[in-house]
Amino acid sequence: MRAFILLLAVVCHGWAGEESLGEFGTFRTLEFDRLSNRNLSRHGALALKMPGVVWVHGESTHFIYHFEQGFLCPQFAMTAELFYRNIKADLGIGEDSQEGKARIYVFLGTNSWNEFACSAKLEKWTGAFQNGNELFVSGRANQNFELTASFPHEITHLIVNRFIGDVPLWLNEGIAEYEGRRQRAFFLRRHGKANARFVVPNRSVSRQQFIPLAELTTMADYPADESRVRIFYAEAELLVRYLVLQSGSREKFLEFVKLQAQGLAFVTALQKVYGDKFRDLVAFEKAFADYAALETKPD
């Protein structure tokens, strides 16, 4: 995408202006009091009041941004809009349950992020934070966010919250991991890396590591043991991928997700959508555990 490359040299230093994002509309740098929505959450106010941090504000079609000064603002805005469009289409969701724009705070480097994470009392391993219609991320000034899995992961959280609503922890993280890896592989291929499968390798969870579904699907918080956090993310993503494979269509998987958002238990939603394939949870769990343990998995 030629326009994307041209924008790489544009850095926000507080100037007011408008930059074309091609098919994704425009990015405008604005003073805070000219933003379309100036209402801040507690975490947003905490970020913008951080001493020694200068913020540059702006808007694109679907997002309001607060950038720590020195960031490549149009580049980031184009990438955010690109992932927003692609992930939404990939999940097959369209109806918007909220009015207004989502809000993204972008920290430059690790120092300000670590200060914010400490003040916000985030887990020490957390590299980004989504809260409702807000997203807090950090990155390098010249970082190419197209080629990371973490940024589409976080954009997916915003999309799920905005279009579907509150879903169980495993499903929220599983969908985000699934889309993050899919989008990274897509853009690696787009940038001429045909061996994206090796750059974004298949995951597996051994029988010894496997978290029983009765536990995984009812977790209200992340595992206390950091080594189990990695397994939690991997198994959640594998479970989402397995459900997508078994559904045969995005519409069927989306039906399952919406049932979970309505408060139905995992086993109830599973029986309603996948009851023709699995007679009960025991049969499903056995088949899924076999799939999760595979080193090479079908697409």
Q: Report pLDDT digits (tens) over 276-288.
A: 888 889 999 999 9
* Domain range enclosing 76: 2-165
Tokens 């190419």 correspond to what residue? 144
Residue 91 inside a domain? The answer is: yes
Same domain, 56 and 160: yes
Q: For the chain, give the longest Cα–Cα distance.
A: 61
Same domain, 155 and 223: no
Residue whose C-alpha is closest to residue 103's, from 148, 162, 52: 162
Residue whose C-alpha is closest to residue 265's, from 292, 273, 174: 273
Tokens of 34: 């000219």
Q: Is the pLDDT of residue 266 over 80?
A: yes
Same domain, 160 and 178: no
Same domain, 69 and 148: yes
Q: What is the CATH number of the domain that holds 54?
A: 3.40.30.160
**How far from 18 is each of 58, 63, 254, 272, CA to CA, in Å?**
9, 15, 37, 49
Same domain, 108 and 208: no
Q: Is 104 helix (H, G, I), strand (E, B) or coil?
A: strand
Confidence at residue 210, expressed as pLDDT on a 0 to 100 scale: 96
Cβ atoms < 10 Å from Cβ of 299: 6
Confidence at residue 5, expressed as pLDDT on a 0 to 100 scale: 28
Of the residues 119, 148, 165, the one at which a domain ends: 165
Same domain, 200 and 118: no
Q: What's the number of domains the chain is made of? A: 2
The whole-number average pLDDT for the span 187-200 is: 56
Residue 98 inside a domain? The answer is: yes
Is the pTM value of this prediction over 0.75?
A: yes
Residue whose C-alpha is closest to residue 179's, from 257, 231, 103, 106: 257
Confidence at residue 44, expressed as pLDDT on a 0 to 100 scale: 96
Q: Is the pLDDT of residue 15 over 80?
A: no
Same domain, 113 and 227: no
